[in-house]
Structure 1
């Protein structure tokens, strides 16, 4: 299924609420980005009640501490911990990865959930990137690469199959093609970050496609040498979240506001998709490698992602992610060279 139609979206929202996958995660470590609210918080709750050590990675110490306290109060468990990371700052991502490596002897699941949807005007990070590109694409990918050695060692030492779950979205199906001038730019992410022709929703769509690209590209370079790591992307559906916190809701079309009002599911329901992507399908884990997961099953991503042109762009985006993040942290290049194939 390389296409995703409006009627199918409506049907998925109305007809299907995924089950909660349960497993005994005692002794295992789960890292959830953006864990203080919405999908991340609810996913962290699920993992915590399964006995895992849950690292709740949040940008704000105040809001993150409140989330840990709330989780403990609601579940009665005491196995959730707060760690601070700001994806809008590469130095913060680097520091967070160093803390995890020092404090965790294993990382079994990495849930790359944090994301932003900008307001009407582009926002630049301290590193000079448009915030959606950095937070949703570059920084989350950087963290996955920096923690890759720890996850590989976890697989080797404990004989388990760690998973990296990249939270994408079905909106990647609906992205209109780029213009020829943009496509011809040598550095696509940089070109998009610098463009003055900025539309928040389109940029979000782009970032979700790039999430699919990163997932597929990492899997292709990892699988032949390290088959114990599963990397996939997942669509949680239209769920309640703080994603639109910076947007002027009155600026949204009435059709979109009505859609959100009538079709949005709860954060808890949406989080079940994240949990399934991390724990589900163990009997056929091979099919989950590099997969796009939707409604607790593997679905084909967009036609563009599957096309020859999309494959070329996927490799371009991969190379640019590695180059940009390696400039911020040279260890990224060392890890890619040591652990991944050069395709």
Structure 2
């Protein structure tokens, strides 16, 4: 934090206000206004022969990023969607708009772990290689919280467990792709600058035996905006934990997290947002296509500086510093706890994750 002049006692009263940390203030502005004032060009690369998977691809950021990848010549752009009907319509639309046949449909429901398991098994059979995995699917909390059939609060399962477990389920194929084709596959997890607003986990949650279980316990009330912020914070902690555990021999894999900014998508369709938030969204949001450029940048840019992209938080098409909490000792402890909780959850529903962790990741 920048130094602040402190007035002598009993003079210049009231005291001068503390200058806010730029690390706190800039991300908030970036989230709301940054992309609106900064329309980055689309990073382009020849994706001939490559397979791209976009989860949450039937609309919004996912659809637009899938469209960009298709126009770059990807052999396969697998559009993973929850609804078969909406997904099929999106695939047909993308084929028409790009004049390519690369778009393929796959079904996955992040509120159902059995669906995630089936999705990963299908891709193992269907895809000889995976070059880019873009995990875009997410949700805003509804006014009344819900519990999934797997026993988790919905936002925790979709925004935290969903992207994390799919990363672990598909990691072996990404590593095999890197080894076999001498490429550098990437996992891009779509997050949000609101992780700054989450601050630290509250003491009750931090002191609980299991953070994720504590957040799925709804007996103490439920605050939708806070839950969304927490989910994006935990999402970032997992990304950093996974990156740190990739063995040096697997340095050809890059995992990062990207903030697309405030974009006009269907994310809010089931959320009961305050009128002030809706006003901001209606008047400041960029188009889904503009927001998708951030996803494409995180997936393709920075090859000449690959190390800076590992475990990075990306916003406005550059690598940025995450929140003070994420970088703190308290955040480090939470990061390790979240990692072990997610891995344990994954092993419970798909034992193969244990083999993936033991064979391919460091035991930190």
Deviation at 1:199, TM superposition (A): 1.4
Taking a change above 3 Å as real, the CA distance of residues 25 and 126 of structure 1, as seen in their structure-2 partners, is same
The reply on whether 1:40 has 2:62 as its aligned counterpart is yes
Moved over 6 A (4+): none
For 1:220, which of 231, 235, 244 is the aligned residue? Answer: 244
Work out the CA distance in 2 between the residues paired with 1:206 and 1:119: 15
Shift of 1:93: 0.5
The secondary structure found in structure 2 opposite 1:243 is helix
Larger Rg: 2
CA contact (8 A) 1:110 1:164 kept: yes
Contact 2:70 2:100 in 1 (8 A): yes
CA contact (8 A) 1:56 1:83 kept: yes
1:72-115 superposed Cα distances (whole Å, 9 cap, x missing partner): 11111111000011111111111110110111110000001000
Q: Is the 8 A contact 2:141 2:155 kept in 1?
A: yes
CA distance in 2, matches of 1:16, 1:259: 17
Tell which deviates more after alignment, 59-68 or 221-230: 221-230
Number of equivalenced pairs: 340
Change (3 A) 1:9 1:242: closer
In structure 1, list runs of 5 or more residues that go unmatched. none
Q: Tell me if structure 2 keeps the 8 A contact 1:222–1:340.
A: yes
1:184–1:70 CA distance, 2 compared to 1 (3 A): same
Q: Measure how far apart 1:210 and its partner are.
A: 1.1
**Residue 237 of structure 1 is aligned with which of 255, 258, 261?**
261
Contact kept? 1:4, 1:170, Cα under 8 Å: no
Q: Look up the SS of the partner of 1:63 in the other structure.
A: helix
Mapped contact 1:33–1:111 kept (Cα < 8 A): yes
Q: In the alignment, is the contact (CA less than 8 A) between 1:4 and 1:173 conserved in 2?
A: no
Question: Residue 181 of structure 2 corresponds to which residue in structure 1?
Answer: 158
Distance 1:154 1:291 in 2: 22
User: 1:168-215: CA deviations, max 9, x gaps?
Assistant: 100000114333222110100110011332112111111111111111
Q: Distance in 1 between matches of 2:29 and 2:45?
A: 34
Aligned equivalents of 2:226, 2:313: Cα separation in 1: 20
